[in-house]
Structure 1
């Protein structure tokens, strides 16, 4: 795996957000790959709860400045970067004042999902891809963590399917038992369809609940990792029907097993 390139895209990463199974696993997967000589890049949203001064985030002017279209509206993209102390790993933050300035992550003070979480997810997916294009950094593997990152596989497979930078990239999605209740904005499928122009491609997310958003990621990925010990029966059955490589939950030897899984995936035509 040395000198291979892995792009880690996660809705949560420690130390920038509180330690959870997802944020810790995303960090450790990148750290372990990096320690073996793998070239890594980490992307996450720049949520307003992240302390920019403490973590020394700074804007990357050469990468910022473009607009991303979300639901036929131009939204400015701001890219910030920081280095994880002691690890020499760079983390890129996708930012936009309207979507990410608020001092919260996914829910308001009443624990209700933000009504624009659907557009935040679209913006994040497109922002990651457009930034990687600007970096001209072709990843061998793209490893997705968290539901807010789960539109990325769909956009890579459909909206950016002719982008040569990602032609050889393998997409891995990790699944976690961290569901939200209810649905995202019911207009999600139409907003994604605005980009893709294909009704069939958004059928899975017509009802934009946690399970269906992950199903969309699964059906557009090359392999799946169980990031939590317990995954819903619905998702497990859906994965089984896809006939794709699956790495079961890893309590021990995560470092070796993840790297072996990446290696095996790159040998599959």
Structure 2
């Protein structure tokens, strides 16, 4: 198949979260399976033009009320032969931030920026003379792609092209004033006909859901949660209407980067057959964080974005969160890495001054994130919702047992501990409350001190898990086939 990924971010060129990792990993693995996969994204000003190859012919893009001209650059995804095309438009993308900045968290002209990318994707195909079987749009920023394909472009060269929309996080939808609609470069009849209208505004994700031939998200459980009132962020009704085209495909891991046996960022390597290197990583973590070096005291790691989605209030909120009581009442240590909401950063710094068994680094450090995963005994991840999650997978692969809320991808990847048989790979709870976090952490700590054989058994089971992208990529091939059948009446079985 010929597949064009349309995305706002891709590692290593631009990243704000797991979306960027997922796009590049999926493209690479589909390419390994023999598919012609290409990526198109914006050229943000931090992406050095001198390292890209210019495509000389300019593109005319029908975004906004007048035609806009853009330039296109190209480079391979590093270490692969997957082409990445960059839409270059200084007004749209020559600034700090992908979606916004601290001064302007959500750029006011994001509808126009989205339109330049999405219209540009179709024009790029025309320029190259390369017409994909699948246009795979990722998240709200790229939702014009299925709209354009269904209502504007599915004729001529795109008559046999289908759309797939992947929702990486339903909480981000692209809500903007109705006054922004002309920036999308669409006829006004599509304000309603394309599914944009919501409460007198435009909702880009809603339009994408309305128009896509197939809709995916990043775990089977989250696919169900999106269709519930509690997890649907107001779009659950539409998703239930379209439930026949909704699929959940669990993201994989980058096993070249996250492999304790070969990880170059660790002071010692290890695998499930020999965990001695993990003990050395624990000692190195304690020293680096300024914690007392005690090999027999469990270390609980946290690597997170300090945001409401991650359950931070139930852990860190003053006089409400559970972490102070955990540190005061249990013989444990905490190693924390994260940044985000200022109140939470301030509270963590305050806790450090009060608790000798809690240390944190506010910010992000790649080597420290690997060391926390390798050197911790447990990993706390009490997410309010988690479409997929990667850290719980990294933890299990590194012999670190997750303590997680049973939601989204966490529910799909972590198996509950059975204190009678020793089965499982982690510790799960249902209700996000400080009490539940405290009690489940206490349960894990109890097992650490009283069920050493169970802890070892769970570590080995987790480290043997297969979180590669191979299966996920193959599942997407099936979804692409469904999209072609639903959108274009094409049976891919006839290709064989």
Q: Note the 1:67-216 alignment, pairs <5 A.
A: 67-162=60-155, 164-177=156-169, 179-180=171-172, 183-192=175-184, 195-198=186-189, 199-202=191-194, 204-205=196-197, 207-208=200-201, 212-216=203-207
Q: Deviations over 1:91-136 (max 9, x none)?
A: 0011111111113211134242111111111111111111111112
Unaligned runs of 5+ in 2: 252-466, 490-496
Higher RCO, Cα 8 Å, sep 6+: 1
Identify the residue that residue 212 of structure 2 maps to in structure 1: 221
Q: Deviations over 1:164-208 (max 9, x none)?
A: 11111111100021644984344222444x632415325524555
User: How many matched pairs?
Assistant: 258
Distance in structure 1 (CA, Å) of the matches to 2:485 and 2:172: 36
Distance 1:208 1:25, change over 3 A: farther
Distance in structure 2 (CA, Å) of the matches to 1:112 and 1:140: 35
Distance 1:38 1:46, change over 3 A: same
Question: Does residue 15 of structure 1 match 2:12?
Answer: yes
Unaligned runs of 5+ in 1: none
Distance in structure 1 (CA, Å) of the matches to 2:247 and 2:172: 24
Q: Once structures 1 and 2 are overlaid, which stretch shifts more, 128-137 or 196-205?
A: 196-205
Check the 8 A contact 2:173/2:205 in 1, yes or no: no
Q: Secondary structure at the match of 1:195?
A: coil
Q: Secondary structure at the match of 1:200?
A: helix
Distance 1:181 1:240, change over 3 A: closer
Identify the residue that residue 256 of structure 1 maps to in structure 2: 474
Distance 1:257 1:161, change over 3 A: closer
Check the 8 A contact 2:42/2:88 in 1, yes or no: yes
Shift of 1:140: 1.0
Check the 8 A contact 1:189/1:203 in 2, yes or no: no
Shift of 1:237: 3.3
Check the 8 A contact 2:71/2:87 in 1, yes or no: yes
Distance 1:141 1:227, change over 3 A: same
Q: Secondary structure at the match of 2:56?
A: coil
Distance 1:174 1:208, change over 3 A: farther
Q: Which has the larger radius of gyration?
A: 2
Q: Note the 1:52-71 alignment, pairs <5 A.
A: 52-53=49-50, 56-62=51-57, 64=58, 66-71=59-64
Identify the residue that residue 3 of structure 2 maps to in structure 1: 6
Check the 8 A contact 2:14/2:20 in 1, yes or no: yes
Match of 1:42 among 31, 36, 39: 39
Check the 8 A contact 1:138/1:165 in 2, yes or no: yes
**What's the C-alpha RMSD, in Å, of the aligned pairs?**
2.4
Query: TM-score under structure 1 normalisation?
Result: 0.85
Distance in structure 1 (CA, Å) of the matches to 2:165 and 2:209: 7
Check the 8 A contact 2:175/2:204 in 1, yes or no: no
